[in-house]
Amino acid sequence: MSNPYRSLQHTEAIARAGLLDVTHYDVSLDLASSEETFASRTTITFTSGEGETFLDLKPVATHAITLDGTSLPVDLLDRGRVPLRLSAGRHELVVEATMRFRNDGEGLHAHVDPADGRRYVYGMSFMDAAPSVFACFDQPDLKAPYTFHVTAPQEWTVIGNAPGEQVEPGVWEFQASQPLSTYFVTLVAGPYHLITDSHDGIKLGLSARQSLARELDRDAEELLTVTKQCFDEFHRLFGIRYPFGDKYHQAFVPEFNAGAMENPGCVTFRDPLLFTGTVPRGLRVQRATTVAHEMAHQWFGNIVTPRWWDDLWLNESFAEYMGSRVTAAVTQFDDAWTHNAWARRQWGLVADQRPSTHPVAGNGAVDATAALQDFDGISYAKGSAILKQLNATIGDDVFLAGAIDHFTTHRFGNATMNDLIGSWERAGAGDLTDFTAAWLRTAGPDTISLDRATGELVRTAPDTVAAGESSPRRHALQVAVITGDDTDGTDVQITDVTLDADRTPFVVPTGAAVVPDPYEATWAAAVVDDTTVTALLPVLAGVNDGRLRSGTWNAIRSAFHQSRLSPAPVVELVASVLPTETDDDAVTTLLPFAASAAALTDAPGPLLASLHTAALNRATTADPGSTLQLSAFLGAVSTTDDVSLLGTWLAGDVPAGVVLDSDVAWAVRVRLAVLGATDVAELDEALAADPSAKARVEYTRARASLPEAEAKAWAWQRFTGEVDVPNYELEAAGLGMWRSGQEELTAEYADAFLDLLPSAASVHAGWVLGTALRSFYPHTALTAEFLSAAEAALDVEGLDLTVRRNLVDATDTLRRRLTTRARFA
């Protein structure tokens, strides 16, 4: 069975955009008549040339299609498309259909909150999902205003892109929106808890499920303050006011796939960003940068939208860069760039070193399905880093002037990379041809390393550059030389270096720690050698510069990713610095990294024990009640094999300052499950006592983690589709299923996973298909036999593009882990 719908090809989008000019959408939805389906009536007015094209529509049933008053056969609908033969001139197309509420985070997603039984709905029209809500010409460069009419249960509030009001009980009328791409269109409907405010003439709103009302009330001041500060800064930087009316609502919605979505007038966020307990500070920084990221999109992406997905960096790279920049500049989270280094840098570097790497711009998105795979660390983290480099090169005034020209020239329209480059060049950037070719059009990162034998820094081009050719990139960076010992303390020497050749002299003291690009001034995989890891052992704890520490660890992580470092010394270094670490981002990043490294050794037990001891040490020495203490304590939970200690903690005997809230308790239960020290009955009892949506996800993770055949079969049913569950539970089941030390239980499922790949797209679709593949990939099957089988699976003809991309990426990780194990066994 194949995917029942066709994905829009780039060539088809070009042809349709050349034929059509969409004037207006009028959409009526009835959300009150059924909990499974809803009625959708769409009237589209447009002009066209003479020719043939198609309408996008993904209904449960089609009741009527009328073109200029003439009925068309409803059975014309084929795999999500209605063919249209058009004469030149103005047209009106009316479609009446029944659509299905979904539970995969796309289309109109319906969620029943297990905490209180209330029902909530939100729209996610992104990438192929809009036609499951309303009939449309679904591509980014056919923008039009939208007018919505919604019938909903009387106790519901309905919020959309444009201002709206309830004109009679359960009936909502909305003003016409500004011109929107189809993927921006949303509705958020249900008995949501609302908070309102205003700032500088803009009406601000927040909403969340009633069961999260306390959390929203608690966090509202912080969220609104960040929002106001960011609005002021964006207005100052661009001199162009927020262009989508006088309303900016931020809705925290359940089971959302992405971090957030920038829908004009009604931004949607995943509601785990409303924290149900105390969380590491890094999560609050992440939330603030996400708020700023989505606000940046109102200019980068919403005023001006890419013509096609091969330029999605025009959206995401800019929002990533501006989100961190503005957060660091004007909010309390002035360490946003340090957080970015810990949380985002490796995401981009790892993606850029995979076989599936692609250029930042012109990524070759042949269709919408292929484009979805490129919403990755390259389009976000790498693109952001390169924009930061460009800003440093051409200057902030020119950078901003070019952006303003871009917004003004293409206001409420669409544009390409060449359009933006032209705006920068007109603003005074000079000829950017070489920059574009080297940084935006060339995939893969250079690797920067030290050759101690010759006393040189080595710049190695990626495989994407022809063999024998030099890298086209010039790197302006710093190099840190770190020396000292326990007696003399730590000494750090920073030297500015420009790498415009493959080898550049750089002599260092014998045995000193050398970290290229510690402040991450350029986009490259800067790596350290084993001598540096050894030299850092007595001195790294004495480095107090947070950016230098994060950059040093990223160089270690990059070297480890390239199988240049032995796992054991890396784990030893992590364990040595944790007791003095002051950044909870470091703790939450380094502990999983080190635990994963330990799993590649012949004797991981003692290494994990050293990590547990170090984490527990920090949990008992950190300020009681601090987020640093919480991060360290959760790390201690995840690395212990002491069932008795876990039981003591779950009973409430935790270090002073740690609060045994629901989140912490479920973390302990998950670890107990991994160790086989709990059972289904105890987990059922815990879920009954805590029937929240978040607890249900953690219950799924815990149950799938049990070292029992029944638990693995239970999890597997969710991957095969035998049991249908919402997206968050699906992901948790997969991540819980594959646990180190449980290989005998999961061995049969490794080959079964590969066997199911050709049909996976008939079970899961869209965003969730990728989620299912990533979470259920057998990442603990660390054998050469499984690697060979996975590589062979890539040769299967007709493999869905989402399936192929995720298989390529996960298999690359497996290959690298096996290489490290073999090299350092």
Find out whether 716 and 737 touch, Cβ atoms under 8 Å. Answer: yes
Burial class (CB in 10 A: 0-12, 13-18, 19+), 688: exposed
- Tens of pLDDT, residue by residue over 260-285, are 999 999 999 999 999 998 899 999 99
Q: What is the pLDDT of residues 408-452, one digit of tens each?
A: 999 999 999 999 999 999 999 999 999 999 999 999 999 999 999
pLDDT digits (tens, 9 = 90+) for 654-699: 999 999 999 999 999 999 999 999 999 999 999 999 999 999 999 9
Question: What's the pLDDT at 484?
Answer: 86
pTM of the model: 0.96
pLDDT band at 615 (very low <50, low <70, confident <90, very high): very high
Every domain of the chain and the residues it spans = 1-190, 193-444, 688-825
Quick one: average pLDDT of 136-153? Answer: 98
The token pair at 764 is 């899961």
pLDDT in tens, 26-73: 999 999 999 999 999 999 999 999 999 999 999 999 999 999 999 999
Nearest CA to 119 out of 219, 29, 249, 211 is that of 211
Question: d(Cα 367, Cα 390) in Å, to the nearest integer?
Answer: 29
In the chain, % of residues over pLDDT 70: 99
Q: 489 pLDDT exceeds 80? A: no
Residue 752, Cβ density class (10 Å: 0-12 exposed, 13-18 middle, ≥19 buried): middle
Query: Do the bridges between strand 187-190 and strand 119-124 make them parallel or antiparallel, or are there none, so unpaired?
Result: antiparallel
Distances (CA, A) of 723 to 102, 117, 119, 705: 15, 21, 21, 18
Hey, what amino acid is at 688?
Answer: A
Three-state DSSP at 651 gives coil
State how far the Cα of 771 lies from the Cα of 749, in Å rounded to an integer.
Answer: 18
Kind of pairing, strands 81-86 and 89-100?
unpaired
The pLDDT confidence band at residue 468, using thresholds 50, 70 and 90, is confident
Does the structure show a pLDDT above 80 at 486?
A: no
Q: What is the mean pLDDT of residues 152-177?
A: 97
The pLDDT mean for the chain works out to 96
In the block, residue with structure tokens 């300020």: 623
Asked whether residue 488 carries a pLDDT value surpassing 80, the answer given is no
d(CA 820, CA 119): 49
Q: What is the pLDDT confidence band of residue 487, given thresholds at 50, 70 and 90? A: low
The DSSP code for 8 is P
What are the φ/ψ torsions at residue 631 (nearest 5 degrees)? -60, -45
Q: CA distances (Å), 727 to each of 46, 119, 609, 730, 771, in order?
A: 37, 17, 34, 5, 8
- CATH number 1.20.20.10 is the correct assignment for the domain at 1-190: no
Q: pLDDT, tens digit, for every residue of 292-342?
A: 999 999 999 999 999 999 898 999 999 999 999 999 999 999 999 999 999
- State residue 1's pLDDT score: 39
Q: How is domain 193-444 classified at the architecture level of CATH?
A: Orthogonal Bundle (1.10)
Residue found under tokens 């189809």: 182
Cα 741 to Cα 427: distance, rounded to the nearest angstrom = 59
DSSP calls for 249-270: EEEEETT-SSSEE--TTEEEEE
Burial of 118 (0-12, 13-18, 19+ CB in 10 A): middle
Output the DSSP codes for 517-546. Answer: STT--SSEEE---HHHHHHHTTTGGG---H
Q: What average pLDDT does range 508-530 have in this prediction?
A: 96
Environment class of 167 (CB within 10 Å of its CB; exposed 0-12, middle 13-18, buried 19+)? exposed
C-beta of residue 549 within 8 angstroms of C-beta of residue 471: no
Q: Is the pLDDT of residue 540 over 90?
A: yes
pLDDT band at 609 (very low <50, low <70, confident <90, very high): very high
pLDDT of residue 202: 97
Residues contacting residue 469 through CB under 8 Å, at least 6 positions apart = 461
